[in-house]
């Protein structure tokens, strides 16, 4: 989603629209990818095929209760009207505001998705299975060949690896085939007035109005994910404002229908986040017996050479190309799964979307696109994945025991992993920071 990134946690569009994908014919998908469709059906402000379940969200947030959602929906017209002064202060005309919001109703089906982002609710291996598959690899390689000149120009201008750019394209929207079908104005307006992220999405709603006002993307083409991310690499409206570029020279920053603008804007975003030219994202590694798992995590950065001195070696008996690079150890599935030394660019990818599983999928798909092999070490596929409610409970139980996890939200970020690691160490478990059902069961005990 560039997704902005908090939360976006929230922002990837991974709707698993298998039926739609099945309609793609292998011989014509490239020619259709970026062709504007003047006859494409776009849901009307008051319409749309998506329906809300009527259920409360899984996070337990009071604003996500069914009653709170209904109350906010009833007040939706007043909420939208109250946003006009802020829109006017940004130079948005009354005519644009009325055209965008006239007859607008909330899309409450978004509430069913807000607490269920796949990069935070699926297992790491399930997430990678979904995103790094043979079809994405083949399509990505075809696009890299077809647009080799554009990728090369963006690589020269911004210093970002073309395979990473293609991987983001593939992960975010399956190369433009799964970008979402919801009007961005309606989605961001809904989230600005309903649910648990209203303050954040008010800014996104106003940024979407800015895009319409400037004419970079016509409103009928401003269609995307439930969270408001749009275009093949899923920019949030505020990210578009900061990083979108006119790379094809037509006077518009069009990240929907211009391949050069899509590729260069994504590269500009990563460069602005601190991408290191010529450096990779990380390495799969093998840990020695009796390794000290308390050394894992973003806060323990050392040179690759120092990690080697602790007995860590690169998977497949490969050499590390630059032993002086600084890296930190990540164990996405704990001690039973693959291990990785992550470089600075891995953290840059996480600024695009703050999920280790997401950044790992981007890095791995990029490696596969350039001809690399699958991961060597197996995933613990027998491990039961905690539900969102169980993750929320796990955080609450850690907090009650005095561990600093921030505000419980069901999303297992770095602070939660540190707390899990400390709890595991205190209770005689391997302190790998993995939120397993065993850890939850131990926390439930008096």
Same domain, 399 and 354: no
Domain membership flag for residue 172: yes
User: 272 to each of 124, 387, 406, 422, how far by Cα in Å?
Assistant: 28, 35, 28, 35
Q: Residue 414 has what pLDDT?
A: 85
* Element at 393 (helix H, strand E): helix 388-400
**Domain termination residue (choose one: 369, 404, 433):** 369
DSSP 11-41: T------HHHHHT--TTTHHHHTT---TT--
As for how many domains the chain has, the answer is 3
Q: Residue 58 has what pLDDT?
A: 76
pTM of the entire predicted model = 0.84
Same domain, 304 and 434: no
Q: Residue 436 has what pLDDT?
A: 94
Same domain, 185 and 319: no
Same domain, 333 and 397: no
Parts of the chain with a pLDDT under 50: 1-47
Integer Cα distance of 418 and 444 in angstroms? 18
Q: Residue 401 has what pLDDT?
A: 96
Q: Residue 117 has what pLDDT?
A: 61
Q: Residue 33 has what pLDDT?
A: 31
Any idea which residue has 């995307």 for tokens?
Answer: 224
Same domain, 195 and 321: no
Q: Residue 16 has what pLDDT?
A: 30
Q: Residue 49 has what pLDDT?
A: 72
Q: Residue 41 has what pLDDT?
A: 30
Integer Cα distance of 377 and 365 in angstroms? 16
Q: What residue numbers bound the domain in which 362 lies? A: 282-369
Q: Which residues, at least 6 apart from 192, have a Cβ–Cβ distance to it below 8 Å?
A: 79, 83, 198, 201, 202, 204, 205
Domain membership flag for residue 24: no
Question: Nearest CA to 61 among 107, 10, 105?
Answer: 10
Same domain, 259 and 408: no
Domain membership flag for residue 406: yes
Same domain, 131 and 224: yes
Q: Residue 259 has what pLDDT?
A: 98
Integer Cα distance of 356 and 359 in angstroms? 5
DSSP state of 315: G
Same domain, 267 and 295: no
């Amino acid at each position: 989603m560039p997704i902005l990134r908090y939360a976006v946690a929230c922002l990837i569009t991974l709707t698993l629209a298998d039926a739609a994908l099945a309609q793609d014919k292998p011989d014509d998908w490239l020619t259709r990818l970026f062709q504007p469709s003047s006859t494409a059906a776009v849901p009307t402000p008051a319409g749309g095929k998506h329906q809300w379940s009527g259920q409360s969200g899984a996070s337990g947030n009071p604003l996500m209760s069914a009653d709170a959602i209904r109350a906010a929906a009833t007040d939706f017209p007043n909420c939208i009207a109250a946003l006009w002064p802020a829109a006017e202060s940004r130079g948005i005309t009354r005519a644009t505001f009325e055209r965008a919001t006239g007859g607008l109703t909330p899309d409450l089906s978004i509430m069913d998705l807000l607490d269920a982002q796949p990069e935070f609710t699926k297992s790491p291996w399930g997430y990678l299975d979904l995103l790094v598959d043979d079809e994405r690899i083949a399509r990505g390689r075809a696009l890299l060949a077809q647009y080799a000149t554009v990728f090369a120009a963006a690589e020269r201008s911004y210093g970002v690896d073309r395979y990473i750019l293609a991987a983001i394209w593939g992960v975010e929207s399956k190369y433009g085939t799964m970008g979402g079908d919801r009007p961005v104005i309606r989605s961001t307006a809904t989230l600005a007035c309903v649910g648990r992220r209203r303050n954040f999405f008010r800014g996104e709603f106003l940024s979407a109005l800015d895009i319409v006002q400037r004419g970079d993307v016509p409103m009928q083409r401003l269609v995307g994910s439930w969270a408001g991310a749009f275009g093949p690499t899923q920019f949030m409206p505020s990210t578009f404002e900061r990083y979108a570029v006119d790379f094809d020279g037509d006077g518009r920053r069009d990240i929907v229908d211009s391949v050069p603008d899509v590729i260069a804007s994504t590269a500009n975003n990563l460069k602005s986040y601190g991408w290191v030219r010529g450096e990779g994202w990380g390495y799969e590694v093998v840990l020695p017996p009796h390794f000290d798992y308390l050394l894992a995590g973003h806060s323990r950065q050392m040179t690759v050479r120092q990690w080697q001195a602790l007995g860590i070696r690169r998977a497949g008996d490969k050499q590390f190309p630059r032993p002086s690079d600084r890296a930190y150890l990540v164990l996405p599935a704990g001690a039973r799964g693959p291990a990785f030394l992550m470089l600075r660019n891995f953290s840059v990818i996480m600024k695009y979307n703050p999920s280790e599983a997401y950044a790992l999928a981007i890095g791995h798909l990029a490696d596969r696109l350039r001809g690399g092999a699958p991961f060597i070490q197996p995933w613990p596929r027998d491990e039961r994945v905690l539900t969102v409610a169980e993750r929320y409970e796990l955080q609450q139980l850690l907090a009650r025991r005095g561990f600093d996890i921030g505000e419980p939200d069901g999303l297992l970020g770095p602070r939660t992993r540190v707390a899990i690691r400390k709890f595991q160490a205190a209770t005689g478990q391997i302190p790998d920071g993995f939120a397993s059902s065993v850890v939850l069961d131990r926390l439930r005990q008096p």
